[in-house]
Structure 1
Amino acid sequence: MVDLVLSGVLALAVGGCTCVVWAERGGPRWVRRVATVTLAAGELVRRAERRRRRSVTRTTSGGD
């Protein structure tokens, strides 16, 4: 079951990356929408990782 979920996530990631490349080359409107969603999701993941790193650094350094 876990393999199926991970395969689905991988397929979505590869499809999203493909749409980003295709949109850069002037693909159809739906491809540009998928590329926008993919890039926004990537930005959300990056922000969450930065926040997590900051909170880990604060906890390990003893607070303020």
Structure 2
Amino acid sequence: MALLILSGVLVLAVGGCVCVVWAARGGPRWVRAVATVTLAAGELVRRSSRTNRNSSLGRGGDSAD
């Protein structure tokens, strides 16, 4: 069951990346919408991991990467 869920997540991630590349080359409207959602989700994950890393180090706020 876990393998099925991880496979689904992998397919969604790869599909999102394909849409980002396709949208950069001027794809249809739905591809641009999927690319926007993919990039926003990536940004949320990046900010979440940065916040978790800072809190585990005992520091607050954003660090200079």
TM-score (norm 2): 0.89
Cα distance in 1, alignment partners of residues 2 and 53 from structure 2: 27
Any unmatched runs of 5+ in structure 1? 60-64
Any unmatched runs of 5+ in structure 2? 60-65
Letter in 1 for 2:2: V
Match runs of 1:17-28 below 5 Å? 17-28=17-28
Which structure 1 residue ranges, 4+ long, deviate > 2 Å from structure 2? Answer: none
Q: Any idea what the Cα deviations from partners look like across 1:6-51, whole Å, max 9, x if unmatched?
A: 0000000000000000000000000000000000000000000010
| Partner SS state of residue 27, structure 2 | coil
Counterpart in 2 of 1:15? 15
Structure whose CA Rg is larger: 1
Counterpart in 2 of 1:62? none
Q: CA deviation at 1:56?
A: 0.4
More helix by share: 1
How many residues are treated as equivalent by the alignment?
59
Match runs of 1:12-51 below 5 Å? 12-51=12-51
What percentage of aligned pairs have identical amino acids? 73
TM-score (norm 1): 0.90
